[in-house]
Amino acid sequence: MNEGPILAAEAITVRYGSTAACSDVTFSVARGSVYALLGRNGAGKSTLVRCLLGQQKPARGRGLLFGEDAWRRRARLMDRVGVVPEEPDAPPAMTPAQIADFCRRIYSTWNAGEFAKRLDRFGIPPRVPFGRLSKGQKGGVLLALALASAPDLLVLDDPTLGLDVVARRALYDELVGELADRGTTVLVTTHDLAGIEGIATRVAILKEGRLILDEEMETLKARFRRIRYGNQMTDTRTAYGTELDPFDAVRVKVRGWGVDAVVANYDDASFDRFQRTDGVVDAEASAMSLEEIFLSVAGEEKGAGS
């Protein structure tokens, strides 16, 4: 079996007229990983996903599925891929049972029993027309369809958008179970940064079509910190700000009480020295959530969009 990346972007560039939706984007998704692709609205995530799945041909570069060109080999390669789109879509007059009967003819590894069991767990009636289901139920149908073929790769394009808390929890529980049972590789774009934080193994951030961050979740969480401290002038200190240089500050705000900074190169030894800097008073460093890190590097808009 090929042990290379299951999914990869090689210098993908997509343009819509004079606007670049993606610019020279390169990354790879390792086998068995959960790769979270984040970005604000209009960052280029959905365009990039279409290129990776062979649904759209980039102006330059290419998407690779299982080591092969996704655009040229899509018809054969998609047998090994399950997809949950941003908007649950299926013929409204067809029931989940009828949709599944259609899909079983397409996928060589289709498991009707697994599909039926997931519908039962999600509380979705199999013989009610798709158009009469709630949005959460529609999403559950699409997830059950995506997993019924035991895919090697699962692609989730903002799957929790518009879902209530119960529906989001059901989706993540199912995803965690699938990962534990089969080690399925997952690419997910999402607004729900809190929900994906405990699942993703690697994180990438797109900003205005460019990849500005791509690293392991543990590494990312370890190097980012919020540092707060009182800032006093002393006999030996005549300027502020240079004390943060070792930490690669990405955001610094001067408050009435002192300084509130987000840094991208934190380590305990440097912080120990920082605390002893003349004029630095009551310094404290706190860990940051994925959402806080995202806001610091990609903008002040809450959440991540398409």
* Helix/strand/coil (H/E/C) assignment for every residue in 54-76: CCCCCCEEEEEECCEEHHHHHHH
Per-residue DSSP letter, 287: -
CA-based torsion, 183, 184, 187, 193: positive or negative: negative
Structure tokens at 291: 């959402």
Tens digit of each residue's pLDDT, the chain (306 residues)? 457 899 999 999 999 988 889 999 999 999 999 999 999 888 899 999 999 999 999 999 999 999 999 999 999 999 999 999 888 889 999 999 999 999 999 898 999 999 999 999 889 999 999 999 998 899 899 999 999 999 999 999 988 887 788 888 888 888 887 776 788 899 999 888 998 998 999 999 999 999 999 999 999 999 999 999 998 766 555 455 578 999 999 999 988 888 999 999 999 999 999 999 888 999 999 999 999 999 999 875 443 444
User: For residue 166, what pLDDT is reported?
Assistant: 81
**Residue 99 backbone zone (phi > 0: left; psi -120 to 50: alpha; other: beta):** alpha
Q: For the domain 7-219, what is the CATH code?
A: 3.40.50.300
Listed in sequence order, the residues at least 6 apart from 246 whose beta carbon sits closer than 8 Å to its beta carbon are: 265, 270, 273, 274
At position 254, the amino acid (one-letter code) is V
Note whether 36 and 18 are within 8 A (CB): no
* CA-wise closest residue to 22 among 1, 38, 42, 2: 42
Taking the domains of the chain in order of start, what are their residue ranges?
A: 7-219, 225-287
Q: Which residues contact 130 (CB under 8 A, 6 or more apart)?
A: 90, 91, 92, 93, 94, 95, 96, 99, 138, 141
